[in-house]
Amino acid sequence: MRPGRRSLLLAAAAAPVSAALPAAAAGRPDGRRVPLVIGHRGAAGWRPEHTAASYAYAVQTGADWIEPDLVPTKDHVLVVRHENEISQTTDVARHPEFAGRRTTKEVDGRPVTGWFTEDFTLAELRTLRAVERLPRVRDRNTVFDGREPVLTFQEVVDLARRLSRTHGRTVAVFPETKHPTYFRSIGLALEPRLAEAVRRNRLGPRECVVQSFEPTSLERIAAERLGVPLWQALGTTGGPYDLVSSGDPTTYRDMMTPAGLARIARYADWIGPDRTSLLPLTPEGRLGTPTSLVADAHAAGLRIGPYTFRAENQFLPADFRRGTGAADFGDAFAEYALYYRLGVDAVVTDFPDLAVIARRG
């Protein structure tokens, strides 16, 4: 990162990470760290992602945080979808009244064809229904297709608070700003709307942690002095699009060096790398040698929560696959146990129920 830009970061804006941890996840009487379980788009392994049913099932089965990905509507309302292109996660293609809105756009430097949230008002999106994003892998989830609407971020906040009351524990929301540079370029900046929501709902550090793959998006959140922790997500190849588009050569690999982690620690409390950045795979898809990333992150004062843990064979290292089908469940418990032993502070998972069971040891 360019040192000059880091002077813009407000170290006081990010609350201490310990304040964001539910009491039950801060540690055990024997001193062992208890990793948080973060429901990736809810419980996406069991329900279509980003639906109320997905979030509720995640919390019901023990998730500490739930993750909504944020994209805007045409009328600048934050809604929760994996991407702004919604043909894979809604039934928009079955609506003839919207056929003319199918188009191709360049998002983060890549051509994408489909239907985009920024071309729909919230009222129009309300006419759509969610569908399973991975129907060939998660055919079991397609039974829920067409049953639930697209949610706003506000509705997820309200749901998290209702679930907190129901289950007697604080459930945090973990919003991710998706494609923030792109949305800023078309006049639909995410950060001001997100900051408004945090303030309006009086979300504190135990109720909200903001994540992004783009450092400048987190800088903008830090400048809002919201008092919520920040999480720098990290990819496996290339660099964050905001830096790439500005000519900054910093890569994700650079950001995961001790020097890069020290820079991240000036503005963020967490890093969220792909889990293979902790345990690379061999060319045969088997487990390789652990890296020093967990220790390096802790040395920099950062907590670490790798993504995304799934139970199906096609997502697991060859060591943990069972059966012959790509969609068959493998030994996900063994994978969780391995990462817990590495000392991670959280796991981001499509199957929070399995992560919670593994956490019990």
> SS3 for 114?
strand
pLDDT level of residue 73 (50, 70, 90 thresholds): very high
**Residue 19: predicted pLDDT:** 36
Comparing 26-35, 206-215, 258-267, 298-307, the range with the smallest average pLDDT is 26-35
Whether residue 252 is contained in a domain is answered as yes
**pLDDT tens profile 19-28:** 344 433 444 4
pLDDT higher than threshold 70 for residue 18: no
Whether residue 109 is contained in a domain is answered as no
Domain of 209 in residue numbering reads as 3-80+133-359
Whether residue 119 is contained in a domain is answered as no
pLDDT higher than threshold 70 for residue 308: yes
> SS3 for 291?
coil
Question: Average pLDDT of 258-264?
Answer: 98
CATH of the domain at 225: 3.20.20.190
Question: Average pLDDT of 249-273?
Answer: 98
Whether residue 140 is contained in a domain is answered as yes
If one counts the domains in the chain, the total is: 1
Query: Tokens in use for 220?
Result: 């903008």
Whether residue 112 is contained in a domain is answered as no
Question: Average pLDDT of 170-186?
Answer: 98
Whether residue 103 is contained in a domain is answered as no
Antiparallel, parallel or unpaired: β 78-80 and 210-212:
unpaired
**pLDDT tens profile 29-50:** 344 579 999 999 999 999 999 9
Q: State CA 151 to chain mean position distance.
A: 16
Q: What is the 3-state secondary structure (H, E, C) of 160-215?
A: HHHHHHHHCCCCEECCEECCHHHHHHCCCCHHHHHHHHHHHCCCCCCCECEEECCH
**pLDDT tens profile 229-241:** 999 999 999 999 9
Whether residue 31 is contained in a domain is answered as yes
Q: Helix, strand, coil % (nearest 5) of the chain?
A: 40, 15, 45
The answer to whether the beta carbons of residues 24 and 108 sit under 8 Å apart is no
Find the distance separating the first CA and the last CA of the chain, reported in whole Å.
Answer: 40
pLDDT higher than threshold 50 for residue 319: yes
Question: Average pLDDT of 336-350?
Answer: 98
DSSP one-letter string for 89-113: TBSGGG-GGGGGG-EEEEETTEEEE
The answer to whether the beta carbons of residues 189 and 167 sit under 8 Å apart is no
Largest CA distance in the chain: 61
> SS3 for 354?
helix
**Residue 32: predicted pLDDT:** 58
pLDDT higher than threshold 50 for residue 135: yes
Q: What whole-number percentage of the chain has pLDDT above 70?
A: 91
pLDDT level of residue 271 (50, 70, 90 thresholds): very high
**Residue 361: predicted pLDDT:** 86
Q: Kindly report the average pLDDT of the chain as a whole number.
A: 92
Whether residue 100 is contained in a domain is answered as no
Question: What residues pair up with 172 in beta bridges, in sequence order?
Answer: 65
pLDDT higher than threshold 50 for residue 11: no
DSSP one-letter string for 20-82: HS-HHHH--TTS----EEEETTTTTTTS-TTSHHHHHHHHHTT-SEE--EEEE-TT--EEE-S
